Structure 1
């Protein structure tokens, strides 16, 4: 495959655990490692039944049209273009091959590995299209999602909502929109978009309302930044009418440490309090919370929480 990233960026990504596949990437998350060693699993397991050791965390592109203050990915160094796009089947083949390479080493440490989970991990059941970048900038994202589902896996697609025309076409198992702010002024500060994208974001909320997929509005909240105005968030959520709302704390990790202070991280109690305020305004049920991840789940009651795999 052709080189798509300058050598310094490529080497930095490799050091951080990213395995590049053409213009995309795959990376095992902390929870996959914990799960495959017999430990706890991530909040997607607690909320939706997704097994962390059978989850592939990937992106079809590292490009992004936001420069979010709270983003821990190394977004500031990404190139402006991706080069030639490869077909979804080829991209997914490469991603799954790299995922197997990533987990193969656990077999050499049977004393610390749950061998039953390792065997299950060899047959991925879920793809989280959310690793880095804005996946809807990949022009064949609809076909990629279809390829994932066609191979018997579920697909969670996380988008910043700047490509509403894509949201009208793509059909993931679960569709997320990241809701970074309760109003346009805060959006411009937090998301730092490369162009005037607020109107497109609002259009995406309307597209989400009509999506046949399970839908989620995800709030990542940072103290003294966007942890405010639950009424404003509620007005935006009411446009989209998502099945679920995830309220999550900003975590002081990666490149975000260059932009935000450690004190920007809300406590789990603050997250729960904000989620309960939203629950009361929206009429959504406070369904669950995971203290270790500082995240809470609200449910509209329009879809069952656990997904049948």
Structure 2
């Protein structure tokens, strides 16, 4: 079922998104909440030194050309492209205003860390990965530059369907989500609206030459794509990323309408599959987080510094 853009916005509001400008959105994540209460931090804090309470989770567009089974977003509700696109400057200003508004809501909590709460009003990191495919926003390079001007690090997560854009951006860290070892499983797991498998392969080649820190992100779904570690390894070899993250599908949000609880692998299953991929790649398991059911691989573990 395709609903109009305004219906998409209304649905997102109900689920805690703050809309920014014409087509952008921001939302606090579970780990920001936990960090403010000293109850833990995101695995990105453990792996890459990101301060969870000072990290923004945002998107410059609600559009996406995938319909992934594991996505916790409401992919059944399709957004339409806006008549005109907001400028990078306007998006950054709007996102920062909405993030501060979201953070201010924690001010009355008795179990909140007051020092962290004050720091949260001055975010240092932005994950461009909330909803939608960021490379569909036509001014993504400029958006990244605007965040960098404010001395913020940028994490861009893309599905890899627009290799030309990937070649133009310079984030702090570039993720490509690679959720299948071959074209047939890709069609099943990711539900692409167009035949973009070859374009994803092109993006892996582009990633190899990126100046950013690079990572391949694999979401593992039991019964769907936890197969053929050698196939995954072959694709990863093309990109030569600094890191590979293998993470369990989590039975959350709207994904519960598409997948059963049994589709969520245990941390040990993720560890076992990661070991097979690592051996096929000559990478090493560098770290893991059992709470998030995620494993980190690195080609040069001696260079990894928590």
**TM-score bracket for the superposition, by shorter chain length:** over 0.9
* Cα separation, 2, equivalents of 1:64 and 1:29: 20
Alpha-carbon displacement from aligned partner over 1:239-273 (angstroms, at most 9, x marks no partner): 00000000000011111111111100000000011
C-alpha displacement at 1:9, in angstroms?
Answer: 2.8
The size of the alignment, in residue pairs, is 302
Question: What aligned pairs does 1:1-309 form with structure 2 within 5 A after superposition?
Answer: 5-6=5-6, 8-21=7-20, 22-109=22-109, 111-301=110-300, 304-306=303-305
Would you say the 8 A contact 2:275–2:285 is kept in 1? yes
* Cα separation, 1, equivalents of 2:218 and 2:126: 21
Counterpart secondary structure, 1:298? strand
* Cα separation, 1, equivalents of 2:242 and 2:89: 30
Would you say the 8 A contact 2:5–2:80 is kept in 1? no
Alpha-carbon displacement from aligned partner over 1:264-299 (angstroms, at most 9, x marks no partner): 000000001111111111111211000010000001
* Cα separation, 1, equivalents of 2:61 and 2:255: 20
Alpha-carbon displacement from aligned partner over 1:92-133 (angstroms, at most 9, x marks no partner): 110110000001122222x21101111111110100000011
Scaled by the length of structure 1, the TM-score of the pair is 0.95
Counterpart secondary structure, 2:297? strand
* Cα pair distance change 1:304/1:150, threshold 3 Å: farther
Would you say the 8 A contact 1:48–1:305 is kept in 2? no
C-alpha displacement at 1:10, in angstroms?
Answer: 2.3
Scaled by the length of structure 2, the TM-score of the pair is 0.96
Would you say the 8 A contact 1:247–1:296 is kept in 2? yes
Unaligned runs of at least 5 residues, structure 1: none
Would you say the 8 A contact 2:220–2:226 is kept in 1? yes
Would you say the 8 A contact 1:178–1:218 is kept in 2? yes
Counterpart secondary structure, 1:219? strand
Aligned CA RMSD, in angstroms, stands at: 1.4
Would you say the 8 A contact 1:243–1:302 is kept in 2? no
* Cα pair distance change 1:197/1:144, threshold 3 Å: same
